[in-house]
Structure 1
Amino acid sequence: MHLFLDHDVHENESVLFTGEEAHYLAHVLRRRPGDEFTVVTPAGQQAVIRLTVVSRTAVEGQVVALGEAPPLPAAHVALYAGLLKQKGFELLLQKTTEVGAAEIYPLLTEHTVVRPRPARLPAQVERWNKIAEAAGRQCQSPTVPVVHMPREFAEALRHWQAQDTPGLIFELTLRDEPAANLRRVLGERGKTDRLAVFIGPEGGFSPEELQTGLDAGLLPASLGSRILRAETAAVVAVALCLYELSHNPR
């Protein structure tokens, strides 16, 4: 089980956990003094913590070993995902974190069903990041993707263009296009270890959005003939792209 620290630590240093992390250790995992677990630091180190004090509101431990965390993913895939209904989007966050998405940008599109109220956005984004962190902790990932503030599709395209990174746009209507075969598209892209993936919400992108994305430089891509739920498509797309970029360098 991993926790993520917001600061680096040294061997024999004391570490204090409060709030949600203390609750997670004491009441969810039921850790006791003498138990050991690992944390990951911003520098990418993996520290073994031995608990010394466990109370209702705080947990304290000591760093007993320090080493390198598992290697980072060989490729960086940023996911631009159409905002879904609550449970669907939370599932998307969990599973794309598990397979290795590096960043997640929620998209507001023509087919977006639920648009969060602006006043509630900061709290909502904070919740999304906690969901991603919990998913990363569960699968012992050395990194956790940042979930950014939602942005309109056109704004997201401008942001992507500024990154100077190849990008793919996935849409069911492209499934019969030979040029949209994912392996073929990635094979023709040239050498890169960074990629942006655009996935629409329920109902996909509108024809106008698809054309706008293509005009902006996104490459058309398909996951085949099966009709996938949006959250499933996001997970499959990220996993396949990471595999191709990591295992089939060109």
Structure 2
Amino acid sequence: MQRYFLDDQYQGQETVLLSGDNYHHIVNVMRMKPGNDIWVVFNGGEAAKATISSLEDHTVKARIIGWEDRATELPVHVTIASGLPKGDKWEWVIQKGTELGTSQFVPFNADRSVVKWDEKKSARKLERWKKIAKEAAEQSHRQAVPEMHSPLSIEQLLVFSEDFHHKIVAYEETAKQGDRSQFARKLSGVKKGEKIIIVFGPEGGLTEREAELLTDNGFVCCGLGPRILRTETAPLYAMAAISYHFELME
């Protein structure tokens, strides 16, 4: 059943109105009619089953008939912070990372980032990233759309990370030195509801300067197994490991 995210808070209402992209998808893509059922997700994460009652000009009206009784969100909040990669790799990380349960995406301008952030195109880029995350959240039946941030500098990232309970940096030099257990040990110390931020480098990895800055500010360097992963693969590996640890081992 198709899922749609709303901008509204749930305040006891029995009907909901869907417009904009949601209206377009229901009417022009899915070709739905009155009587068809959908899932709607409120701002607070409440997910309701609703039956379409009418299709009006630019608005779909639906009546709530029940509530989702299972949790689809990770029991911990994970932020992926990645040095801006080339091409569409960041969009791939957003899409797949959303499916795997990431709560927040924060790109940053790393020393070895080939891509340079164009402020003139920033609004359009950010909207595209948000749309990718929303569509992936709908497809994977999540109860929240991940937050999206414009790129930060490494110094801004350090300030941003201050409020997290656990801070990890995936550093390939640590992996080359044979570390295979630090990441697992870190996850074992995380409690449900806590916030984790994991930093990944761009193509070429993080520089020694960046690694030192991060570790000097409370980050722990971890390897992600014996193989060196691409910049777009490493975040997904980490998210899969986190899901396994907190959801499948329960």
TM class, shorter-length: 0.7 to 0.9
Aligned position for 1:175: 175
- How far the C-alpha of 1:68 sits from its partner, in A, is 4.5
Question: Which secondary structure state, in structure 2, belongs to the residue aligned with residue 151 of structure 1?
Answer: coil
Name the CA distance, whole Å, in 2 between partners of 1:190 and 1:9: 31
Taking only aligned residues, the RMSD between alpha carbons, in angstroms, comes to 2.5
When residues 51 and 195 of structure 1 are mapped into structure 2, their CA distance, relative to the original with a 3 A threshold, is: same
Aligned position for 2:114: 113
Aligned position for 2:154: 153
Question: Which secondary structure state, in structure 2, belongs to the residue aligned with residue 195 of structure 1?
Answer: strand
Matched letter for residue 81 of structure 1? S
Name the CA distance, whole Å, in 1 between partners of 2:38 and 2:170: 40
Aligned position for 2:128: 127
Note if contact 1:77-1:242 (Cα within 8 Å) is conserved in structure 2: no
Note if contact 1:40-1:142 (Cα within 8 Å) is conserved in structure 2: yes
Q: What number of residue pairs does the alignment pair up?
A: 248
Question: Which secondary structure state, in structure 2, belongs to the residue aligned with residue 33 of structure 1?
Answer: coil
Note if contact 2:74-2:246 (Cα within 8 Å) is conserved in structure 1: no
TM-score normalised by the chain length of structure 1: 0.88
List per-residue Cα deviations over 1:47-96 (Å, max 9, x = no partner).
12211233673322222234556253211111111222341111100011
- Runs of at least 4 residues off by over 6 Å: none
Matched letter for residue 126 of structure 1? E
- 1:60-75 residue pairs with structure 2 within 5 A? 60-68=61-69, 70=71, 72-75=73-76
Name the CA distance, whole Å, in 2 between partners of 1:137 and 1:213: 34
Name the CA distance, whole Å, in 2 between partners of 1:190 and 1:155: 25
Note if contact 1:75-1:242 (Cα within 8 Å) is conserved in structure 2: no
Name the CA distance, whole Å, in 1 between partners of 2:76 and 2:140: 18
- How far the C-alpha of 1:248 sits from its partner, in A, is 6.8
Question: Which secondary structure state, in structure 1, belongs to the residue aligned with residue 115 of structure 2?
Answer: coil
Note if contact 1:44-1:68 (Cα within 8 Å) is conserved in structure 2: no
Name the CA distance, whole Å, in 2 between partners of 1:53 and 1:248: 44
Name the CA distance, whole Å, in 2 between partners of 1:20 and 1:187: 38
Gap runs ≥5 in structure 1 = none
**More divergent stretch after superposition (15-24 vs 139-148):** 15-24
- How far the C-alpha of 1:176 sits from its partner, in A, is 3.0
Gap runs ≥5 in structure 2 = none
List per-residue Cα deviations over 1:83-124 (Å, max 9, x = no partner).
223411111000111111111111111111212211221221
Note if contact 2:164-2:195 (Cα within 8 Å) is conserved in structure 1: no
When residues 27 and 173 of structure 1 are mapped into structure 2, their CA distance, relative to the original with a 3 A threshold, is: same
Matched letter for residue 64 of structure 2? V
Question: Which secondary structure state, in structure 2, belongs to the residue aligned with residue 175 of structure 1?
Answer: helix
- How far the C-alpha of 1:168 sits from its partner, in A, is 0.8
- How far the C-alpha of 1:170 sits from its partner, in A, is 0.5
